[in-house]
Structure 1
Amino acid sequence: MNNLNLEIPAEVRDFAEKTVDQARKAFESFVVAAQKATAQSEAAAESMASSAKEVSSKAIGFAEANVKAAFDLAEKMVHAKDPKEILAIQSEYLKTQVAAVQEQAKSRGEAVKKVVTHTTETK
């Protein structure tokens, strides 16, 4: 065999070492940025889920209140003595429900606005 004495020059080794070091630092910076982005994304998703849960809970609460009011109406109407009393009961129910639905719509709108505002702020 030939006795080749091939030695890598010190300049090439220094250059390779610097290149590896720069690549390592660039990768570490990328990992840190990816971790920050992931954390922000997770926080936004958790906040969005919490807000969506709040909106859903309100909607269920409103539905429950409206159904209860309808049952209360039915109970009152069953005990009415004449058509005039039925009309009075029904008229009062309609006034009450219109006010309740308006308040519910306002509350739902505020909750949805909160979700949308928070979502756009986290982007």
Structure 2
Amino acid sequence: MTKDDMRFEIPEHLREMADQGLDQARKAFEEYVSMTHGALGNIEAAASTAQTEGVELNKQAVAFAEENINSAFDYAQKLCSAKSYDELMQLNKAFIEKQMEIAGEQARVMSDKTANAASQTARKFTEK
């Protein structure tokens, strides 16, 4: 038996199948990488949106706190000038009613802003 007789050749159709399989694997990997980059872009956009919306929520919360503290100072000033117990009770009642109304409105605004922030952030995950 000669060296040429022992030589093993891979048939052409098997080499073609292997080449096609490799091409398909490469294309699948490239698609996976492309999708991963897209997803990372969406995550970055969502994180940026969440941060921006969070800053806006914080600013609104600080504005409401400032408004509430100023209202409390105004209330305290009015109490200092009250001349009777009845006047104190009237001032107290009016302050509590007003603050309850303001608190309801502030809660509504914060709820709306929070829902909007969540919606804007979630939208970034689905954008292409």
Query: In structure 2, which of residues 44, 47, 56 is the aligned counterpart of residue 45 of structure 1?
Result: 47
Task: State the superposition RMSD in angstroms.
Answer: 2.7
Q: Which runs of 5+ in 1 are unaligned?
A: none
1:23, 1:85 → 2: CA distance? Answer: 84
CA offset digits 1:18-41 (Å, max 9, x no partner)? 333332222111110111111112
Other-structure match for 2:19: 17
How far did residue 85 of structure 1 move?
3.0
CA offset digits 1:25-68 (Å, max 9, x no partner)? 22111110111111112222222232233223222222221122
Other-structure match for 1:82: 84
| Runs of 4+ with deviation above 6 angstroms | none
Q: Which runs of 5+ in 2 are unaligned?
A: none
Other-structure match for 1:27: 29
Identify which range, 13-22 or 89-98, moves more after superposition. Answer: 13-22
How far did residue 77 of structure 1 move?
1.4
Higher relative contact order, chain-length normalized (CA < 8 Å, sep 6+):
2
Contact 2:46 2:122 in 1 (8 A): no
Letter in 1 for 2:19: E
How far did residue 9 of structure 1 move?
4.3
